[in-house]
Amino acid sequence: MATGPRYFIPFRRRKEGRTNYYARAKLVVSDRPRMVVRRTNRHIIIQLVQAEREGDVTRVTAHSGELPGYGYRGSLSNTPAAFLTGILFAVKAQNAGFDSAILDIGLHRATRGARIFAALKGAVTAGLDVPHGEEILPDDSRVKGAHIAAYAPDRAGDLVQNVEQAMDAIMKELE
């Protein structure tokens, strides 16, 4: 191992490849709450996080596991689920008094039409002010699940109508 006065040991999370401190510093300095979108193999998780001196504080959380309570039947990790989770997050954030945020996708690759941007589209559709470019968002047919219904009609069933019904049920929560 290198030693000496000029040797710099990187931060543990940088060494593990879990944090890009350059991007994080820019997000924290912006003084706006961050809309943190994370996806797992089974769920989509969105949090509203504010940076404070003692550490980050989570103010609002939406999880795709909450969607069946609004009548959604389908996978909790696909593009329509990410869209609906984004809507649910925006409704919760607005009810908590937050009207704007800045997107934090972490180390996820920014691919056009990805599930992360479907969540962003849901939040923007529900009225949350998040700066973004329109070309990165997925099509309306994709967030409604038309591509799934075309690919596997026997498994999708009435997915497009189900997404619209769940969207209406979530929007009724807006105070």
| DSSP string across 8-73 | -PPPHHHHTT---HHHHHHHHHT-S-EEEEEE-SS-EEEEEEEEETTEEEEEEEEEGGGGGGGT--
Contact (Cβ atoms closer than 8 angstroms) between residue 110 and residue 131: no
Contact (Cβ atoms closer than 8 angstroms) between residue 80 and residue 143: yes
Average pLDDT over residues 1-8: 74
Average pLDDT over residues 151-157: 84
Residue pLDDT, tens place only, 123-139? 999 999 999 999 999 99
| pLDDT exceeds 70 at position 41 | yes
| pLDDT exceeds 90 at position 99 | yes
Residue pLDDT, tens place only, 117-126? 999 999 999 9
Contact (Cβ atoms closer than 8 angstroms) between residue 91 and residue 57: no
25 or 173, greater pLDDT: 173
Residue-range domains of the chain with CATH: 19-171 (3.30.420.100)
**pLDDT at residue 7 in the model:** 78
Q: How far apart are CA 130 and CA 27, in angstroms?
A: 13
**pLDDT at residue 1 in the model:** 60
**Mean pLDDT score of the chain:** 91
pTM of the full structure? 0.87
